[in-house]
Amino acid sequence: LYVDTALGEGVAVALDGNPAHYLIAVMRVKAGDTILLFDGKSGEWAATARDIRKRDLVLDCVAQTKPPEPVPDFWLCAAPIKKGRIDLIAEKACELGVAKLQPVLTRRAVVDRLNLDRLHAHLVEAAEQCGRNMLPELAPMVKLDALLRDWPDGRHLFFADETGGAPIAEALTAHPGPAAFLVGPEGGFDPEERAAIRAHPAAVPVSLGPRILRAETAAIAATAAWMTLNGD
């Protein structure tokens, strides 16, 4: 179970709301029962339930049961797209193991604001479902020019470009190490944006095949391909 409290030996976690309802009414937890917790940063912890009331309870963190898992050094930089579709990207990116989800605002984006709380909830749900104890970082949205300007040295910027690029298997094999994939919105990147990305020293234009994929398909396929070669 995910909790929004930094876990450690002796930490008491007071829960109410949905997580408490789940434990008390659905799981029928009794005083003394052991619950496995994670906070997205400190691995997995065993905690003992006490002070169980109708709508709240306390969990005493006893011991770490799993260390923080290793996270492959991969960022997914994706333009915001419609609700539902961006939620799918967040869910699958978390399942596939990304270290960071970086929303990127581009000129043709039809969505220019994101509900980060909702996306965080999808990341948490996906982490619980797939047994991941490290949550991906969810970065605030940045504009494309700022992303390119502040790009860190030593990280490949694979650019998913439906107008052409190296075949993905070739590009990934030729560029090992820390990486990110940049995927555009429903309407794609405009020609100026495409030229600016291609001119960036870290950029590696990549084709995901001859068909035009929906943005969420491209994001998921690119992440899965990188993880197949580099993920643990």
Binding residues for ligand SAM, per CB under 6 A? 160-162, 183-184, 186-189, 207-209, 211-215, 218
* 3-state SS assignment for residue 75: strand
Q: How far is the CB of 69 from ligand SAM (least distance, A)?
A: 29
**CB closer to ligand SAM, 126 vs 183:** 183
**CB closer to ligand SAM, 44 vs 162:** 162
**CB closer to ligand SAM, 113 vs 214:** 214
**CB closer to ligand SAM, 24 vs 220:** 220
Angle at 101 between CA 170 and CA 69, to 5 degrees: 85
Nearest one of 46, 37, 82, 112 to 214, comparing CA atoms: 82
Q: How far is the CB of 215 from ligand SAM (least distance, A)?
A: 4
Angle at 42 between CA 124 and CA 2, to 5 degrees: 30
Q: How far is the CB of 168 from ligand SAM (least distance, A)?
A: 8
* Cα–Cα dist 5/209, whole Å: 44
Question: Which two three-digit tokens encode residue 190?
Answer: 């405009």
Q: How far is the CB of 98 from ligand SAM (least distance, A)?
A: 16
